[in-house]
């Protein structure tokens, strides 16, 4: 085991010792053996690090780390100078203003991947109509701030001032914090030998300031599969031309393992991925945008096929997943902070700060969120701060054994969306602080001790049957439609509002929308009630289930004014006095400010465990820890351990009480 050093003053002809460092991280990766550590010293490295080999076990890793106390930046961009101001008539007579500059970039700079020729496109991408110009993977940055792509030179000369943007899913109109920033625009044309870029710098000289353009697809991402047990620690990683990453395509990110096992990505600052920052995703051979390319079957069908293809390829615990993503700060990405299909299994995502995801809204599709995972089997998502995202967490397909714990979500257009999954999955001790808090287009979930500040949307999805698995395994046990229900809600606090004023994409919600759990009205309140309703010997095997809703298990929740309780709930507490709850930022800290009436203190609950949660129906599985023991939900949002024999209030904080509170939550 040895250290290999990399420094800007080094040379790749040296041996990598502390006195004779290498110049590039890629050269160090070619030399590194299992157990070695690559120490990178201060400075800015413009390269796509492509590890050549992985470690052999958790104890014999290959570690890449910034030198202690030193700031190391790895970028997928290049600095561009040689800009010339443009004046007079350009492009069909368009009059170009004094802020417009142009530069010719030799295509040789890009190699075989030119981001200005590559479109943001693929399965589940949505453009307004066939005439809408598609965006590209290129970008222009002025002193680190990314520009907006426009469709012509004329728009570079006279860019529109956008004061608000519309969230395509919810229809929510949001004001733009810095409208003038939207006028920082660029346009490119790719020729045989060079790519010409026009940009409007509004009086800034791009040859004096720092101007960069996207060049490389990724920043730290191997080209081959199964390079296991690699640690990446302590870097700033930025500005990569990452492509659209749906679950039916290869999913490269700015950084990621590329179909491997046991990576640790920790303590990094990661930003400005055109699409996705961290990828724990799928690989190419199990599908590559076939719905878009072939147009013969929907993406749903190709995604279903990819699951079975992956099993044949060796998608299992021994070969894939078990990654650890922790203490990273991720921001300013166009699609996802963290994305993954299949490759994310058995992983832990914790203590990350994720914000400003998909807020530019240069493009839109159904794969956008701070964290967007498919097939999140036995994945722990805990104690993350996620805010100012188009959507906070989106768990889609095969959410099984997944545990969403102690997360702080707020100021998102939507907080948590669980789609077409059968469970069992746990959502416990979280703050869902946005106006659209929870969307459950699934079944088999358990929601325990959460603070739900906004709307709750429920819907069945019977037209897209999805797989479920043997517990704690990728082995497919069956597949079924999503009928809704089979959920558990215990000890949550639901805030209220006016349902008529609740903003939500009515075109996408074909179920129930409101505040609280009234959307479950009509569901049986126990497994016994359900079995009685389906036990009609005059009906056939399928018919006796067709019109019977699945049971739900709802008890001991607290409802503020404007929120409603499930009609058959046991132990519901409906508060009639005013309740005030707000998530407040103060510098780097976040506080939960509450004003609760005295009656709130009357609600006391024992610690909830797997024995208190009936097994899910289709999977016929218990709520368990990854090792197969029954789950214990005994740690609150703040990390406080609840005593097994204690009693606690509803909500995510063990000592939450009536009166006014100002509680640090991050």
Domain assignment of residue 36, yes or no: no
Confidence (pLDDT) at 509: 53
**What percent of the chain stands above pLDDT 70?**
96
Q: Give me the mean pLDDT over the 451-462 stretch.
A: 95
3-state secondary structure 239-302: EECCCCCCCCCCCCCCECCCCCECCEEECCEEEEECCEEEECCCCHHHCCCHHHHHCCCCHHHH
Cα distance between residue 472 and residue 379, in whole Å: 10
For residues 173 and 156, state if they share a domain: yes
Confidence (pLDDT) at 507: 42
Q: Give me the mean pLDDT over the 541-550 stretch.
A: 90
Q: Would you give the DSSP letter of residue 533? A: H
**Domain final position from 214, 247, 282:** 214
pLDDT value at 500 more than 70: no
Cα distance between residue 666 and residue 153, in whole Å: 45
Q: Is the dihedral of CA 127, 167, 142, 219 positive or negative?
A: negative
What's the CATH number where 140 sits?
Answer: 2.60.40.1180
- CA angle, corner 358, sides to 353 and 363, nearest 5? 160
Q: Would you give the DSSP letter of residue 508? A: T
User: Sorting pLDDT into bands at 50, 70 and 90, what band is 95?
Assistant: very low
- Residue pair 362/135 in contact (Cβ under 8 Å)? The answer is yes
Domain assignment of residue 315, yes or no: yes
For residues 412 and 316, state if they share a domain: no
CA 277 and chain centroid, separation: 9
Domain assignment of residue 11, yes or no: no
For residues 635 and 591, state if they share a domain: yes
Alpha helices in 465-551 (DSSP H): 527-534, 543-546
- Residue pair 456/519 in contact (Cβ under 8 Å)? The answer is yes
For residues 210 and 339, state if they share a domain: no
Domain assignment of residue 615, yes or no: yes
> Tens digits of per-residue pLDDT, 587-599?
999 999 999 999 9
For residues 557 and 462, state if they share a domain: yes
Which domain, by its residues, includes 552?
376-519+534-666
Please report which helix (H) or strand (E) contains residue 376, including its range.
none
pTM score, whole prediction: 0.97
What's the CATH number where 403 sits?
Answer: 2.160.20.10
Confidence (pLDDT) at 169: 67
For residues 450 and 588, state if they share a domain: yes
For residues 595 and 646, state if they share a domain: yes
Confidence (pLDDT) at 89: 45
Cα distance between residue 646 and residue 633, in whole Å: 13
**Nearest-10 Cα torsion for 36, 41, 45, 48:** 10
For residues 408 and 503, state if they share a domain: yes
Residues 6+ apart with CB under 8 A from 414: 169, 170, 390, 391, 392, 434, 436, 437, 439
User: Sorting pLDDT into bands at 50, 70 and 90, what band is 506?
Assistant: very low
> Tens digits of per-residue pLDDT, 247-289?
999 999 999 999 999 999 999 999 999 999 999 999 999 999 9
Domain assignment of residue 430, yes or no: yes
For residues 579 and 515, state if they share a domain: yes
Q: Which residue has the higher pLDDT, 177 or 386?
A: 386
Cα distance between residue 607 and residue 491, in whole Å: 10
> Tens digits of per-residue pLDDT, 600-656?
999 999 999 999 999 999 999 999 999 999 999 999 999 999 999 999 999 999 999
> Tens digits of per-residue pLDDT, 460-469?
999 999 999 9
Confidence (pLDDT) at 537: 86
Cα distance between residue 282 and residue 278, in whole Å: 12
For residues 326 and 383, state if they share a domain: no
Q: Domain count of the chain?
A: 3
For residues 340 and 246, state if they share a domain: yes
Confidence (pLDDT) at 94: 42
Cα distance between residue 451 and residue 492, in whole Å: 6
For residues 295 and 394, state if they share a domain: no
> Tens digits of per-residue pLDDT, 297-325?
999 999 999 999 999 999 999 999 999 99
Q: Give me the mean pLDDT over the 73-94 stretch.
A: 79
pLDDT value at 176 more than 90: no
If you average pLDDT over every residue of the chain, what do you get?
94
**Domain final position from 189, 214, 239:** 214
Q: Which residue has the higher pLDDT, 558 or 172?
A: 558
Beta strand 145-146 with 140-142 is: antiparallel
Domain assignment of residue 50, yes or no: no
Q: Give the SS3 label for residue 528.
A: helix
Domain assignment of residue 31, yes or no: no
User: Sorting pLDDT into bands at 50, 70 and 90, what band is 556?
Assistant: very high
**Domain final position from 342, 368, 394:** 368
Domain assignment of residue 49, yes or no: no
User: Sorting pLDDT into bands at 50, 70 and 90, what band is 203?
Assistant: confident
User: Sorting pLDDT into bands at 50, 70 and 90, what band is 331?
Assistant: very high
**Nearest-10 Cα torsion for 565, 570, 576, 581:** -70
> Tens digits of per-residue pLDDT, 120-137?
999 999 988 888 899 999
């Amino acid at each position: 085991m040895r250290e290999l050093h990399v420094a800007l003053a080094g040379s790749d002809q040296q041996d990598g010792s502390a006195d004779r460092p290498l110049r590039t991280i890629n050269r160090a990766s070619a030399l590194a053996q299992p157990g070695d550590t690559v120490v990178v010293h201060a400075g800015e490295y413009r390269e796509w690090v492509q590890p050549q080999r992985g470690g052999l076990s958790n104890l014999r890793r290959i570690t890449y780390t910034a030198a202690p106390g030193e700031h190391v930046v790895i970028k997928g961009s290049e600095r561009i100078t040689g800009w010339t101001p443009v004046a007079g008539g350009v492009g069909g007579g368009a009059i170009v203003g004094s802020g417009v500059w142009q530069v010719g970039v030799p295509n040789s700079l890009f190699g075989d991947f030119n981001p200005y020729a590559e479109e943001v496109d693929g399965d589940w991408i949505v453009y307004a109509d066939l005439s809408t110009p598609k965006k590209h993977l290129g970008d222009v940055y002025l002193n680190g701030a990314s520009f907006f792509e426009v469709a012509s030179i004329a728009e570079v000369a006279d860019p529109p001032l956008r004061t608000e943007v519309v969230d395509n899913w919810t229809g929510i109109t949001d004001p733009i914090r810095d409208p003038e920033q939207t006028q920082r625009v660029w346009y490119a044309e790719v020729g045989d030998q060079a790519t010409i870029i026009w940009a409007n710098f509004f009086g800034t000289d791009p040859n004096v300031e720092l101007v960069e353009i996207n060049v490389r697809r990724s920043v730290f991402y191997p080209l081959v599969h199964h390079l296991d047990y690699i640690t990446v620690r302590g870097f700033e990683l930025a500005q990569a031309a990452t492509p659209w990453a749906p679950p039916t395509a290869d999913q490269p990110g700015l950084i990621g393992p590329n179909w491997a096992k046991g990576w640790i990505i920790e303590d990094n600052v990661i930003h400005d991925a055109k699409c996705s920052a961290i990828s724990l995703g799928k690989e190419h051979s199990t599908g590559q945008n076939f719905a878009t390319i072939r147009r013969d079957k929907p993406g749903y069908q190709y995604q279903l096929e990819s699951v079975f293809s992956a099993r044949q390829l060796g998608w299992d615990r021994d070969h894939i997943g078990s990654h650890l993503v922790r203490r990273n700060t991720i921001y300013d990405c166009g699609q996802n902070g963290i994305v993954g299909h299949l490759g994310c299994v058995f992983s832990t995502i914790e203590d990350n700060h994720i914000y400003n995801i998909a807020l530019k809204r240069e493009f839109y599709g159904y794969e956008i969120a701070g964290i967007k995972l498919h097939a999140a089997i036995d994945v722990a998502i805990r104690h993350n701060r996620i805010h100012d995202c188009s959507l906070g967490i989106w768990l889609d397909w095969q959410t099984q054994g997944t545990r969403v714990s102690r997360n702080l979500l707020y100021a998102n257009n939507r907080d948590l969306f669980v789609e077409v999954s059968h469970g069992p999955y746990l959502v416990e001790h979280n703050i869902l602080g946005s106006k659209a808090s929870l969307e459950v287009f699934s079944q088999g979930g358990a929601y325990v001790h959460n603070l739900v500040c906004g709307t709750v949307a429920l819907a069945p999805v019977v037209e897209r049957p999805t797989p479920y698995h043997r517990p704690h395994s990728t082995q497919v046990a069956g597949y079924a439609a999503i009928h809704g229900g089979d959920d558990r809600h215990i000890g949550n606090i639901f805030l209220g509002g006016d349902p008529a004023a609740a903003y939500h994409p009515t075109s996408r919600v074909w179920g129930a929308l409101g505040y609280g759990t009234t959307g479950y009205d009509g569901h049986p309140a126990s497994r016994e009630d359900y079995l009685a309703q389906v036990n009609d010997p005059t009906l056939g095997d399928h018919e006796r289930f067709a019109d019977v809703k699945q049971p739900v298990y709802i008890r001991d929740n607290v409802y503020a004014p404007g929120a409603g309780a499930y009609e058959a709930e046991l132990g519901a507490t409906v508060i009639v006095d005013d309740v005030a709850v707000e998530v407040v930022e103060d510098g780097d800290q976040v506080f939960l400010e509450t004003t609760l009436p005295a009656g709130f203190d009357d609600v006391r609950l024992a610690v909830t465990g797997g024995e208190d949660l009936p097994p899910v129906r289709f999977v016929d599985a218990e709520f368990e820890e990854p090792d197969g023991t029954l789950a214990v939900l005994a740690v609150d949002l703040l990390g406080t351990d609840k005593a097994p024999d204690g009693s606690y209030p509803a909500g995510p904080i063990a000592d939450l009480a009536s009166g006014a509170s100002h509680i640090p939550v991050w």
